């Protein structure tokens, strides 16, 4: 991997800071609208001074059918695309090697480069890719609502978290456009993504907050990948069993405030408790209880932010008979009590 993901020397970097070809470019094309962002990403690769004093910039653009939000600072570019239309396409001109994390929450998509299409990413899955200098297009399934998070990392930033042993399975093995397999997005990952996208902090504090969350996302990605490496061969886990796990997940999502025992849930999807626990963790990277608990807490958080109900009502809606028990669980999960969101 070092052959491709090698940081520049200080001399090389200084020599290229004023090179306009080093600047990343992004274009978003919708059926009747388009957005072109060029000449504004020097701080991502080189850490040059920005309007906010060197701690990056953030921008938000509204379309008739949705919204695009991004921010960047040295080493990290974060974007959130949410639109509801067909024929959406996002172009990325990548002048230097970079790592791209993509989390597709709604709609299937795939990247294409100058040579061929590659790396399809299914809905509610994520992937980690290595981009060599090229122009890439992110293409979406037509006639579906689209929501995708992308996190671009420079070679310098990403290399800090890679193992030094090149025999480690976390290293990319093949040449060209290298990537791991798609893995389901977990509720924990969604929480981190929305925390970053909705962060109201500014300057160096925002940078520290975002960097910490993105490093945590990398950790979760590597943790999932290692679990897959140690899992049983794919042939031993049949497609019908995977479908049962998704059916179990859908039951949880449709009734987050209604407790359901593992035995009942297993029977509803046509399996047993042992296979449910084992299969669910393999598909979603977490236990049934943790997944359900995360959904409950996220649902509660959304209801609190909406401001239409009191804490007791919200506690009841997410399955708690006593507001005090809900408050304790909420604080343990998020690190602060529910009423802090109301102030």
Identify the band that residue 314 occupies on the pLDDT scale cut at 50, 70 and 90: very high
Residue 321 has pLDDT above 70, yes or no: yes
Predicted local confidence at residue 134, as pLDDT: 85
* Distance from C-alpha of 214 to C-alpha of 128, rounded to nearest angstrom: 13
168 versus 323: the higher-pLDDT residue is: 323
Residues 6+ apart with CB under 8 A from 283: 184, 242, 245, 246
Q: Tens of pLDDT along 136-162? A: 899 887 677 899 999 999 888 888 887
pLDDT at 72: 87
- Taking all residues of the chain, what is their mean pLDDT, rounded to a whole number? 79
If pLDDT is split at 50, 70 and 90, which confidence band does 51 have? very low
Quote the strand ranges of 64-168, DSSP E: 66-73, 76-85, 89-94, 98-106, 109-112, 117-121, 125-131, 134-140, 144-154
| pLDDT, tens only, 219-249 | 988 888 777 666 655 545 677 888 888 889 8
Alpha-carbon distance of 189 to 214, in angstroms, equals 10
Please give the pLDDT value at position 217: 94
- Of 159-173, 175-189, 211-225, 248-262, the poorest mean pLDDT is in 159-173
**CB-CB contact of 151 with 75 (8 Å):** no
User: pLDDT value at position 43?
Assistant: 60
The larger pLDDT score, comparing residue 335 to residue 289, is at 289
DSSP lists the bridge partners of residue 36 as 27
More confident residue, 96 or 118: 96
pLDDT over 50 (residue 280): yes
Structure tokens at 162: 């890679």
Q: Which two tokens stand for residue 110?
A: 């795939």
Q: What does the pLDDT read at residue 69?
A: 93
104, 145 Cβ separation under 8 angstroms: no
Cβ neighbourhood burial of 18 (10 Å; 0-12, 13-18, 19+) = exposed
pLDDT at 53 over 80: no
Q: Is the pTM of this model over 0.85?
A: no
pLDDT attached to residue 129: 86
Mean pLDDT for 27-39 is 79
Task: Give the pLDDT of residue 41.
Answer: 62
Per-residue confidence at 214, pLDDT binned at 50, 70, 90? Answer: very high
Strands 57-63 and 66-73: antiparallel
Highest mean pLDDT among 51-65, 77-91, 112-126, 163-177: 77-91
């Amino acid at each position: 991997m070092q052959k491709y993901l090698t940081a520049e020397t200080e001399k090389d970097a200084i020599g290229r800071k004023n090179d306009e070809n080093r600047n990343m470019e992004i274009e978003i094309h919708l059926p009747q609208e388009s957005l072109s962002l060029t000449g504004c990403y020097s701080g991502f690769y080189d850490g040059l001074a920005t309007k906010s004093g060197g701690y990056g910039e953030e921008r938000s653009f509204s379309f008739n059918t949705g919204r695009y939000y991004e921010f960047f600072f040295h080493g990290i570019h974060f974007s959130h695309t949410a639109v509801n239309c067909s024929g959406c396409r996002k172009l990325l001109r990548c002048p230097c090697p970079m790592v791209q994390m993509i989390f597709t929450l709604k709609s299937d998509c795939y990247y294409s480069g100058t040579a061929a299409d590659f790396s399809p990413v299914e809905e509610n899955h994520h992937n980690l890719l290595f981009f060599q200098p090229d122009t890439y297009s992110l293409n979406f399934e037509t006639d579906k609502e689209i929501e995708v998070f992308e996190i671009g990392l420079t070679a310098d930033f990403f290399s800090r978290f890679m193992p030094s042993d090149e025999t480690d399975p976390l290293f990319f093995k093949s040449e060209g456009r290298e990537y791991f397999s798609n893995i389901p997005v977990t509720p924990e990952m969604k929480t981190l993504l929305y925390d970053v996208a909705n962060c109201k902090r500014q300057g160096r504090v925002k940078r520290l907050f975002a960097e910490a969350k993105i490093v945590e996302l990398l950790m979760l990605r590597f943790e999932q990948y290692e679990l897959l490496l140690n899992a049983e061969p794919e042939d031993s886990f049949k497609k019908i069993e995977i479908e049962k796990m998704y059916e179990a997940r859908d039951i949880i999502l449709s009734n987050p405030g209604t407790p359901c025992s593992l035995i009942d849930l297993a029977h509803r999807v046509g399996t047993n408790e042992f296979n449910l626990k084992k299969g669910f963790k393999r598909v979603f990277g977490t236990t049934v209880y943790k997944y359900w608990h995360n959904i409950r807490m996220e649902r509660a958080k959304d209801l609190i932010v909406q401001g239409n109900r009191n804490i007791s009502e919200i506690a009841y809606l997410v399955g708690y008979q006593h507001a005090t028990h809900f408050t304790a669980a909420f604080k343990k999960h998020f690190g602060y009590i529910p009423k802090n969101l109301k102030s």
